[in-house]
Structure 1
Amino acid sequence: MERTSLCLPVVLLLMQCSPSCSVTVSTNEPKVEVKEFSDAVLSCLFHTEIDQNPRIEWKKTGKDVSFVYFNGQFKGSFGGRATIEGATVTLHGVTQEDAGEYRCEVSAHLDIVNLGETNITLKVLVPPHTPSCEIPASAVTGSVVQLRCWDQQSIPPAKYSWFKDSKPISPPRRANATYLINSQTGILEFQSVAKEDTGHYSCLASNEVGQPKMCEGKHMTVEDVNVTAVVAVVLVVCLLGIVCGCGGLLLHRNGFLTRHRGRSFWISQCPGAAHISSQTLHRTEDTSNVNYIPPPQEDFKHTQSFML
């Protein structure tokens, strides 16, 4: 009974001290979105019960952890373009390299729970850039043709719309439309292009961050037959025929296409070729003589006598 009476005040003391003798860290805005080249405020609020001079650290987390603020100074690329008030950090002129996850850590060594932290996500918004457009110069009627438009730098991703001769192309409302528009990927596809589709095409990229941007555009001509390609193929074939014909004629005149001329030329141009050729002929004759067996000779006998 005495032991119980002694332990009870200690337990009550710990229960009263634990919540108040600890550091607490929080933030007003866990997700921060700002435009590129503007200022980003990363709020960090803390409370300590005993330690009035806690240590404050900021880190950028991810695949690698790097210090932003440590030992009273900003580190790395944040030096000279960031300020701190209390534990709240302001980054000036943020870019895409600054986007990511940040952690504020407060250490109060005199408190019972002496470490607290909070996390903040920074997203840097980027207005549209001038998109890149891929528009064929010519096409054949009835074929499938794709016009492409993309902007890989805008955040959030841009949406795309197409123009023909400076007039917007409305998204198809009929199921059997001859073209399709994907505002997310920026692809304008003609499933069966016709002559009426000839014109000057351009693409507009837009998001809610900044002013939309349009590519320079290009003229597309739709023809029944690709005359340019046919003429090019005919010219190439004719040129190859002329070159082959002239080459064969020159070889024939110089005797390169005859067997005797070719052997004589080879012998005259290759050192030692005549010696090798004569040895080869002698070996051939010797080989033929080794296997030769003369026919047997029969004795000639007179069966009758002739008288003159």
Structure 2
Amino acid sequence: MSLPAGTPETGWLRVLFLGLSTLASSSLAQLELHVPTGLNKLEAIEGQEVVLPAWYTMTREESSSQPWEEPIVIWFLEQEGKELAQVLSYINGALSNIPRVSLVHSVTTRNVSLRLEALQEGDSGTYRCSINVQDGKSPSMGHSSKSIELKVLVPPAPPSCSLQGVPYVGTNVTLNCKSPRSKPTAQYQWEKLAPSSQVFFGPALDAVRGSLKLTNLSTAMSGVYVCKAQNRVGFAQCNVTLEVMTGSKAAVVAGAIVGTLVGLVLLAGLVLLYQRRSKTLEELANDIKEDAIAPRTLPWTKGSDTISKNGTLSSVTSARALRPPKAAPPRPGTFTPTPSVSSQALSSPRLPRTDGPPPQAISLSPGGVSSSALSRMGAVPVMVPAQSQAGSLV
């Protein structure tokens, strides 16, 4: 229960409670607070509600000439290791209380029973009720207090069942059962369901820890085993299925497990090898790129062959040397050189002028192969410059 502690109101009420108790002990008691016999210790279940019964009586009934004022009612909660906390107060007709706490009846009925709703385990403790009443005409005062101890019980929370060991014929296994929450502490019971029902006891059963040891397993011991966790206020259960395997089945299971593990290891190795190989290939490719030399660019003029500075014709080594010349008529007095042209200047003899048709260009195709055939073979046509009579290139 979340209770306010250390507040100013709680402080002065505690002082008032102690002062009135001291004063009442030195004066004649004029009222008495009652708690039913045998109900000063109560137990309740978590989640439910409980009523702490209490009422007071006067030792001398007031008369019409001696009226009594409304009493002062205070309920406190004492818990081990914690400060005294106020849970309800009734002073001068004003009621103050924390959530889930209230009075069952009106104070004017002299019944000051306390109701606690939606109980929690933290509500456990000793509840003390203090009553103070003052005579309207005299300074005398009456005081009384009683205590009720409350213990909130918690049913076992649903437990968890597990199997420890490999269940095959001739071996031993242990069935475990544990509830995470219980007050008081839960006790455990194991039993085997039909068709061969069986209830287990010690020494195979540990009722405190919830373990059941099964030794020298046989196929007849296969079945559903149920664990029940219980205390005085409730129970919860879980179950586990036991299938006892023969030697061959156990070998198959073990082989499957080992095979799976080996497969996972191999797969991991292949992935690692692939990653290393990819990294090596990538590094090798980077090294090749760094060591490679860019190809030289020949200083050729577009559409012409390379000509030396002294006017001589350089030998053409590229594929462009195979390009056939265009079918344009040569100039009069010139001739077309053969494909094998030396690097020296050639003298051109003067040819007589004729009135006949202009000479045809000499084919550069070796063996009489046509230019279209050379083009299909991948040859590139090239223009070879003519030479004038003076020996200079035209």
TM-score w.r.t. length of structure 2: 0.48
Question: Where does residue 52 of structure 2 map in the other structure?
Answer: 42
Deviations 1:19-65 (A, max 9, x none): 62466545332101234555423133445668654311012222254
Going from structure 1 to structure 2, the CA distance change for 1:119 and 1:226 (only over 3 Å counts) comes to farther
Q: Give me the whole-angstrom Cα distance separating, in 2, the residues matched to 1:151 and 1:84.
A: 40
In structure 2, stretches of 5+ residues that fail to align are 1-24, 61-67, 293-394
Out of 199, 218, 234, the position equivalent to 2:240 is 218
RMSD in angstroms over aligned alpha carbons? Answer: 4.1
Q: Which has the larger radius of gyration?
A: 2
Deviation at 1:163, TM superposition (A): 1.4
Write the mapping of 1:72-83 to structure 2, written as runs, cut at 5 A. 72-78=94-100, 82-83=103-104
Tell me the residue number matched to 2:88: 69
Note if contact 2:30-2:58 (Cα within 8 Å) is conserved in structure 1: yes
Q: Alpha carbons of 1:233 and 1:73: their partners in 2 closer, same or farther (altered >3 Å)?
A: same
Deviation at 1:244, TM superposition (A): 3.6
Report SS of the residue matched to 1:139.
Answer: coil
**d(CA) in 2 for partners of 1:25, 1:143:** 67
In structure 2, what is the Cα distance between the partners aligned to 1:153 and 1:99?
16
Aligned residue number for residue 282 of structure 1: none
| Residue 200, structure 1, aligned to residue 224, structure 2 | yes
The alignment-based identity, stated in percent, is: 23
Unaligned runs of 5+ in 1: 1-16, 173-178, 275-308
Aligned-pair distance for 1:236? 3.1
* Residue of structure 1 in register with 2:207 after alignment: 183
Q: In the TM superposition, what whole-angstrom CA distance separates every residue of 1:212-242 from its partner, at most 9, and x where no partner exists?
A: 5432x22122344463343232233245336
Distance 1:100 1:145, change over 3 A: farther
Letter in 1 for 2:35: T
Higher fraction of helix: 1
For residues 237 and 66 of structure 1, do their structure 2 counterparts lie closer, same or farther at Cα, with a shift above 3 Å needed? same
Q: Distance in 2 between matches of 1:44 and 1:255?
A: 85
* Alpha-carbon distance between aligned partners in 2 of 1:194 and 1:228, rounded to the nearest angstrom: 17
Q: Distance in 1 between matches of 2:58 and 2:126?
A: 25
Q: Give the letter aligned to residue 258 of structure 2.
A: V
Which structure shows the higher strand fraction? 1
Name 2:72's counterpart in structure 1.
Answer: 55
Is 1:170 the counterpart of 2:180? The answer is no
Q: 1:244 to 1:127 in 2, by over 3 A?
A: closer
State the AA in 2 paired with 1:40. V
Aligned equivalents of 2:155, 2:186: Cα separation in 1: 8
Between 1 and 2, higher relative CO (CA 8 Å, sep ≥ 6) is seen in: 1
The CA distance in 2 between the partners of 1:119 and 1:87, in whole Å, is 15
- Give the conservation status (yes or no) of the 8 Å contact 2:169–2:217: yes
Q: Distance in 2 between matches of 1:59 and 1:184?
A: 36
Equivalent of 1:20, from 28, 38, 46?
Answer: 28
1:68 partner amino acid: V
